[in-house]
Amino acid sequence: MKMKEKVKYTKILLKELYAFKPTVFIAILLAPLISAALPLLQLLLSAFVIQWSMEGVAIREYLLRLLVFIALIGIAQMGNYYFMLYQEENMNHLRDFMRNKIETKYLKLDYPLIIGKEAQERYNNASELTDNNTTLFGRLVTEIIELCSSFLGVVLYINILSQLESLFLVLVGVFLLIVVFFNVWQVKMDRKLFQAKAANSQKLRYLKKVYGESRITKDVRIFQMKDWFKQIEDKTIAEYHRLIKPKVKLTWTESTLVNIGIIGLSALSYIRSVQLIAAGAIPVSSFVIFAGSVTILAQTIMTLVNAIGKMNTSLNETKKYDDFMSQGQIFNHGEGRPLPKEPLSIELKNVTYTYPNNDTSTINNVSLTIKPYENLAIVGENGAGKSTLTNLIAGLLKPDTGEIYINGVAQSEFNISDYYALFAPVFQEKFLLTYSIKETVIQGLPFDELKYNRVLKQSGLTDIISKFKSRDETKIVRAVYPDGVNLSGGQLQKLKLAQALYKDAPVLLLDEPTAALDPIAEHQIYQDYFQFSKDKLSIFISHRLSSTRFCDRIIYIKNGDITEVGTHEELMAEQKDYFKLYEAQAYYYKHDKEEKEEEDEPVVTGGVI
């Protein structure tokens, strides 16, 4: 990472810390001072104890000085411990703060920015930074304090040792270069082996999963697979040791050279201290300070280099955070045109759309006009582009080319949040939040009892609610509420239909609203369809072509193109793709019904032979 990028991401981290809690910088300033000073205070205490003894200080004075020094060390240790607790507490709060920022950003992002593999990876990469205290926003404060503490410590102890011998500056510089060299080498080695180690770990996890899989236990025993599994495991473990062997050798070499360096520095400090003591240049007690400073300096240098390495890793991870958070919006979130009054018409002019990372467009140069209060059916085979077309109309996706108009006003001229108020959808993908049935239907809108009871009846939800002890106050998703209910696919569809009807928007979007319903319930929904779609423009997607007869007009989509337009009777008369699909469905429905009737025939048993 270039220095310019490091500065950029450092600013981002500091800015987020300030937004989280400005007082955290007090800890970042004070904690390193205490951490760096504490070992020196302990060295000074040992040195002063020797000096006071040699000077023959009176016992009363001796104990008083000792108590004062011990009190200072105690206060420093208490401060160190306090800041450690402060870090732990704030790490958790910081993770919560950053998680909230990331999730809020995700919820506000336009829909095209959250679909596709790359979009999900961007979100996951950012979200994982808040998972626990080992991830970026769980360890950030600790890393900054560790970096500042070790830097202050290195400066402090180099300054002390340079008073003993200026040669120490050169030797410490060489020692520092050795540690940095090995640290950089290890980082490069880790990057080089990352993919291979990840693949090896995946193999080991898979083997562990297989060992715990009850469904395979019979095969293992019958087919004598135990030895085979053992061979695979041994081979995988051997591969792991082969991969880490260079790193182990490098670590061993580094440790050897570091220890030699510490011995050399210690020897120099001992020799030079003895010489100066013999010459009367320094007191005997100073020997403790200089000798102890060598060991502390060596450890602090290693801590500093490791802290720099950790901070570089954190800055690289900050890029993932910035990549997600810096995404701009696609739709109009500023001031827009006033929403048009009913009745509404929708017009698509030469609309083309291609999903991210796809070479082939899903919707190809489509032009279509939907009249006010029209009930339009969109049909076609799986993957033809039916749902994509409704998502474009609803403003969830943005056309690559072309434009969508509402009463002659371009979709892009409306504020997107205002625009969504025009639509009441029942999507093909269904998800429930852990609210009561009533709360789910109302979705935060003002409660209207007459409308509420009407949509329950129209959606077929009334009969379902009557079976529950708590009626419409019943909680859904039993995984959260033990006394809640898990709705079946058909019940869930009725709930989502009731939710759409309660919103009472001028445009009704129904994407497979009856796919999970039984034929009787489906027929009842269709009987009510005319009633609840009255005075609305409705768009209806269905795989079951028998349902399209309830619509004013039908369009057939094939490979992203509108290939047929007309009423059910007109399309049947043309005998094209719509006709073929309808006939095929009718044949299989009839065939399945006959088989069911045969299976249901009573079997006569017993009798006289």
Return the pLDDT at 345.
94
The residues facing 110 across adjacent strands are none
Of 5-9, 201-205, 225-229, 330-334, which gets the smallest average pLDDT? 225-229
The separation between CA 237 and the C-alpha centre of its own chain, rounded to angstroms, equals 31
217-237 per-position pLDDT tens digit: 667 677 777 777 788 888 888
**Confidence category of residue 601, pLDDT binned at 50, 70, 90:** very low
20-67 per-position pLDDT tens digit: 999 899 888 999 999 888 888 888 888 888 888 888 888 888 889 889
pLDDT at 95 over 50: yes
DSSP conformational letter for 475: B
- The residue written with tokens 């048993």 in the block is 605
Fold classification of 3-325 (topology level): ABC transporter transmembrane region fold (1.20.1560)
Averaged over 96-121, what is the pLDDT? 92
pLDDT at 523 over 80: no
- CA 376, CA 348: separation in Å to the nearest integer? 14
**Confidence category of residue 588, pLDDT binned at 50, 70, 90:** low
Return the pLDDT at 607.
33
Please give the structure tokens belonging to residue 174.
């060489």
Please give the structure tokens belonging to residue 586.
């009718």
Pick the CATH number of 342-422+505-591 from 1.25.40.10, 3.40.50.300, 3.90.1150.10, 2.60.120.1030: 3.40.50.300
Residues 6+ apart with CB under 8 A from 316: 1
**Confidence category of residue 212, pLDDT binned at 50, 70, 90:** low
Please give the structure tokens belonging to residue 422.
């025009």
* Cα separation values, 558 from 378, 380, 384, 390, 581, Å: 11, 6, 5, 15, 12
Return the pLDDT at 214.
62
196 vs 368 pLDDT, higher one: 368
**Averaged confidence pLDDT in the chain:** 84
pLDDT at 311 over 80: yes
479-514 per-position pLDDT tens digit: 677 777 877 777 888 888 888 899 989 999 988 766
- CA 495, CA 437: separation in Å to the nearest integer? 8
- CA 489, CA 486: separation in Å to the nearest integer? 10
- Contact at 8 Å (CB) between 526 and 547? yes
Calculate the dihedral angle through the C-alpha atoms of 215, 221, 226, 228, rounding to the nearest 10 degrees.
Answer: -90
Instruction: Please give the helix or strand (H or E) that residue 36 lies within, else none.
Output: helix 24-55
pLDDT at 538 over 60: yes
The residues facing 436 across adjacent strands are 475
Return the pLDDT at 416.
94
The CA-CA-CA angle for residues 355, 376, 382, to 5°, reads: 40
- The residue written with tokens 């495991």 in the block is 233
Q: What residues does CATH 3.40.50.300 cover in the chain?
A: 342-422+505-591, 430-504
The residues facing 470 across adjacent strands are none
Of 1-5, 414-418, 559-563, which gets the smallest average pLDDT? 1-5
Return the pLDDT at 514.
65
DSSP conformational letter for 421: T
**Confidence category of residue 327, pLDDT binned at 50, 70, 90:** very high
- CA 120, CA 172: separation in Å to the nearest integer? 48
Residue 280, classed as helix, strand or coil, is coil
Q: What's the pTM value of the predicted model, to 2 decimals?
A: 0.76
Of 6-15, 269-278, 298-307, 353-362, which gets the smallest average pLDDT? 269-278
Fold classification of 430-504 (topology level): Rossmann fold (3.40.50)
Residue 513 CB neighbour total at 10 angstroms: 27
